[in-house]
Structure 1
């Protein structure tokens, strides 16, 4: 699907938003792990990134109702240029685009989300599950450019470090930022894991509604948007997987009637 302006006429519900935000949190921490200094100087940063990745993987499994941990190689991660080029040949696109393709068509495994966002350039993700791929496609089509930087296509593949079986989730929650959407999504998915983690979530996110629908707020109307208002956004029907934990399902994100540049 392609469209020149933002917001675009496809917008998913809260579950789609949550999956994409958790996946983006994982991509963000992969970037931090990759950017950490080599040797002893970067040991603390790498350890923190590994802890965060493990906790976010736990949140992702909870959000999709996984019955066993997702293998490290199937966690969401940015596409490398070779995979992006191979997947790109299977589709056509416009100024702002995002499409889901099976990597089996290029000899790989899993799914690729391949797109282009003005201001960033080529964007893409490699994931193991179609539900996550569909969620990221909507994410790339509808979210502000500033939120999509973790999905910029990298020159080389981004390896996921070996993750421990478990980490101190309560300690992880205490360093999350309630002002960031990806952090709120991870915290929301971790509710119900254990009492200590729940207590940490209540303390860290006191007064924050973790089930509130996201609000997309473009920076302002453009001349083109003023002259020709865009079509009303349609809510996509999202097929959700069974959950291990009960998570409330509020209304779909709220989108203003104005339209703005990407």
Structure 2
């Protein structure tokens, strides 16, 4: 199977970042903490949407942002794959009366995964993503019971402040940062500071998980150091006068005066 290009992986990572933040938004509770969590999620989605627009070369309306498939759409798309026009596991949703494309799949240990995207390039990127990334990275794409709605995003977002919340260790966050470079000087400065020492242009590395058939590494036994020989029942280097036992010396309980 041919892997997608580096740009393809960038699209998939940014889309996964958006899906993960959409999940946070929908799981947020009530009260002050819930409102704060939703505000942070909206900020992150807006920042990542800007990165996705930069990566694709076109502005993407919030209603067209990639998001996780719900169960009903997943089932309908799966039926189209079995009975109608299809392209691998990417299928046009026109047959269901909807727009865009669905990416449907199954990941061992995770179950049904699916994504909805309005553009074919993002759908193809997620198709390759589903086939090559570890299951732990695909959790945001686990099929949901109800359709996901994208919240209303602000017209402007402080991208420099948004960058400060990105995690340099995560591939998704690095892809977002890479595609925000060149937006403005302040954002570029924030990226240089937050991702200092990180090569944002490094190619993606896919490490396949180990299979049960792989032989377990052998444990190398270290040779034991031989015990030191004893002389007349005593360890060498310890000499006592004749008649003195090995017991610890006694300490007097009183102090004699002058």
What are the residue-to-residue correspondences of 1:1-262 with 2, within 5 Å?
9-66=1-58, 69-92=59-82, 99-223=89-213
Aligned residue for 2:89, secondary structure, equals strand
TM-superposed CA distance for 1:10, in Å, is 3.1
Deviations 1:100-129 (A, max 9, x none): 100101110111111111111110001111
Q: What is the aligned partner in structure 1 of residue 256 from structure 2?
A: none
Contact 2:70 2:143 in 1 (8 A): yes
Structure 2 match to 1:247: none
C-alpha separation in 2, matches of 1:166 and 1:185: 21
Give the distance between the partners of 1:156 and 1:220, measured in 2 at CA: 34
| CA RMSD, Structure 1 to Structure 2 (Å) | 1.3
Once the two structures are TM-superposed, the CA of residue 45 in structure 1 deviates from its matched residue by 0.7
Q: Is the 8 A contact 2:134 2:209 kept in 1?
A: no
Higher relative contact order (CA 8 A, sep 6+): 1
CA distance in 2, matches of 1:174, 1:215: 25
SS at match of 1:122: strand
* Structure 2 segments unaligned to the other structure (5+ residues): 83-87, 216-258
How many residue pairs were aligned? 210
Unaligned runs of 5+ in 1: 1-8, 93-97, 227-262
Q: Deviations over 1:201-237 (max 9, x none)?
A: 00000110001011111232442x78xxxxxxxxxxx
Q: Report the Cα distance in structure 1 between the residues aligned to 2:34 and 2:212, rounded to whole angstroms.
A: 44
What CA distance in whole angstroms lies between the structure 1 residues aligned with 2:73 and 2:156? 31
The two structures have a TM-score, normalised by structure 1, of 0.78
Residue aligning to 1:249: none
Deviations 1:158-184, CA, capped at 9 Å, x for gaps: 111000111110011011100000000
1:37 CA displacement: 1.0
Moved >4 Å (runs of 4+): none
Q: Distance in 1 between matches of 2:76 and 2:209?
A: 34
SS at match of 1:177: coil
Q: 3-state DSSP class of the match of 1:198? A: helix
- Tell me, yes or no, if the aligned pair for 2:9 and 2:125 is still in contact at 8 Å: yes
Normalised by the length of structure 2, the TM-score is 0.79
